[in-house]
Amino acid sequence: MTSTKPAFPAPDHDHDRCTADAITHAEEVCKQRAQKFTPIRRQVLQALSSSHRPLGAYEVIDELARSMPRPAPITVYRALDFLMANGFVHRIESRNAYLACAHDHDAASLVAFLICERCGSVGEIPAAPVAQSLTAAARASGFAPRLSVVEITGTCAHCQRAA
């Protein structure tokens, strides 16, 4: 993830470019890994890329149903599992929702999600130092951490300026 990009894009940014970047990134990674980027996986990623807000699985189904026969929930959940396993989608735990991601994250990198309570957009920032501190504290107490998710709610700069 590049640190020069803002966590929250400007409200008037070229969102079609974001979607195209997410799809292109997924195509390239799948090709490198010899994995299939099936039509349903592509469609689920496009639905999630339609905004910078996380969508629940049934919201993804509703979005897909606008342009194709309504997919079965298991079909969408399988696509989401694939997209998450490959780093194309993040799960926002507190919202039980999913967010498209076009960044390259290595296995050791942790991001923190910044969730705007006003507009619902989600940004991500690098959080490796936080993750290292939390992991060290957990291990010092005899706990073996498996997953760490950092979510911070508040108000994005765009909403603060608009208020």
pLDDT tens, position by position, 39-85: 999 999 999 998 778 999 999 999 999 999 999 999 999 999 999 99
Instruction: Sort strands 97-100 and 111-116 into parallel, antiparallel or unpaired.
Output: unpaired
SS3 state of residue 125: strand
Most confident listed range (4-18, 41-55, 98-112):
41-55
- Give the bridge partners for 150, in sequence order: 112
pLDDT class of 18 with cuts at 50, 70, 90: confident
Is 8 inside a domain boundary?
Answer: no
pLDDT of residue 3: 46
pLDDT of residue 52: 79
Domain total of the chain? 1
What are 19-50's pLDDT values in tens digits?
898 999 999 999 999 999 999 999 999 999 98
Q: What is the CATH number of the domain that holds 121?
A: 1.10.10.10
Whether residue 1 lies inside any domain: the answer is: no
Is residue 149 scored above 90 in pLDDT? no
C-alpha to C-alpha distance for 84 and 86, rounded to whole angstroms: 5
Which strand (E) or helix (H) includes residue 56? none
How far apart are the C-alpha atoms of 53 and 51, rounded to whole Å?
5
Establish if 2 belongs to a structural domain. no
Show the DSSP H helices in the chain as ranges: 15-32, 39-48, 57-65, 73-85, 128-140, 157-162
Q: Is residue 7 part of a domain?
A: no
89-108: average pLDDT: 83
Q: Is residue 10 part of a domain?
A: no
Q: Cβ distance 18 to 7 under 8 Å?
A: no
Specify if 23 maps to a domain. Answer: yes
Instruction: Look at residue 3 and tell me if it is in a domain.
Output: no
pLDDT (mean) for 105-116: 77
pLDDT score of 1: 43
Coil, helix or strand for 154?
Answer: strand
* 36 found inside a domain: yes
Structural domain of 50: 15-162
